[in-house]
Structure 1
């Protein structure tokens, strides 16, 4: 499919990807999902995202210098989320608009995201969320919807800066320190309460009362986004307090 006019006025070029389809059931996007490309450079990432054999794509790519490229129309279903879940939704591709930031990722040295790239992501994200009325708490990381399977955009991504500019949900992380913590293998009511809070926020997690590998992966995903000072999958006092503060500060859905 070729595009003549970008959806966002901020897109500087259209690089069409064939890897797209219709949003299932006419689903309206209400999630903005942020990724990193995890490839050596922009050329490699763009080639893969446009390769029909790769069967992956996204709506927008943000280069290190802040240039924004569009690959799939916003009304279409790009193939960027893979096996994912959020707030009971399992077809995240139909529910979201995906932005890929060019960055080689954890396996490629994981450099900091340049200021120009972050600023462009903020402008693009504000434009998208305004036009589609996407709530702040549904501006998410790929790792949020695919814990244990994906880690992007990772703990270096400046979510706090996005929030300061009006994009995304955030609360100041509780400081690291002493206190009761919960980890793999533990069972009981405190674990059940932790799982219930994570599920309440949106993470795909069964409330079993057992701190199993899935719970560890979800806790690590939460830390990577909201408490990045230490990502270890252990639910310490800082993690639990930050989670509670996020739940309390999340706006109630409109009636």
Structure 2
């Protein structure tokens, strides 16, 4: 695995984790900016009131802006597995990408090394690795359709796709039940939920709901 020794570049945009909470989630983002340097400046500017714990450039450079035991301001409103205040429950990793092109090999290698270290330090399971779009469906789209979730799942760094024995029912009710069991509990309409599930598991899919949309959620 690639080295994951971060460059310390502190951001003033952080606080204490609320109610004594410790991270049990990792939230992945893309920066949607023109460069890693521009994103770093934004994440460390008190005027914008946003931050993350880590930023990984397309060339594999790694910056740390907030200590892991502090609450970075990266997730915003949303929920996962029935829980809110995701900032207090997570570690946020920003990836230098506009969301319209593949994530580079150096970037992915550093991400994998960093995630493995974080998951070991905080005993975070693969099911605790989510995208910003997972906990804020309809509001956020990152890390987007070009992110290789299957690659992380193969390494045990993200939840693998389910492999049901029989074809699942292709109904909104079946999708919602399966999605909620996996953590998609934000209150959104059926179309937005389908969009969020597809972003995570079937970003190439289009058209009406089908059994293949439900299948990845079933263990």
Q: Would the TM-score normalized by the shorter structure come out above 0.5?
A: yes
Which ranges of 4 or more aligned residues in structure 1 deviate by more than 4 Å?
A: 179-182
Q: Is the 8 A contact 1:126 1:166 kept in 2?
A: no
Higher relative contact order (CA 8 A, sep 6+): 2
Structure 1 residue 192 corresponds to structure 2 residue 184: no
Provide the rounded CA distance (Å) in 1 between the counterparts of 2:129 and 2:64: 19
Residue 170 of structure 1 corresponds to which residue in structure 2?
A: 160
- Flag the 1:71–1:217 CA change in 2: closer, same or farther, 3 A: same
Larger Rg: 1
Aligned positions of 1:63-212 closer than 5 A? 63-105=57-99, 110-171=100-161, 181-182=170-171, 191-205=172-186
1:26 counterpart = 2:16: no
Contact 1:38-1:102 within 8 A present in 2 as well: yes
Question: Is the alpha carbon distance of 1:166 and 1:241 closer, same or farther for their aligned partners in structure 2, counting shifts above 3 Å?
Answer: closer
Any gaps of 5 or more consecutive residues in structure 1? 1-8, 183-190, 207-212, 249-255
Cα distance, 1:34 vs structure 2: 0.4
Aligned residues: 215
Contact 1:125 1:167 in 2 (8 A): yes
The TM-score, its normalising length taken from structure 1, stands at 0.79
Q: TM-score scaled by structure 2? A: 0.91
- Preserved CA contact (<8 Å) 1:144 1:218: no
Is the 1:64–1:114 contact (alpha carbons within 8 Å) kept by the matching residues of 2?
A: yes
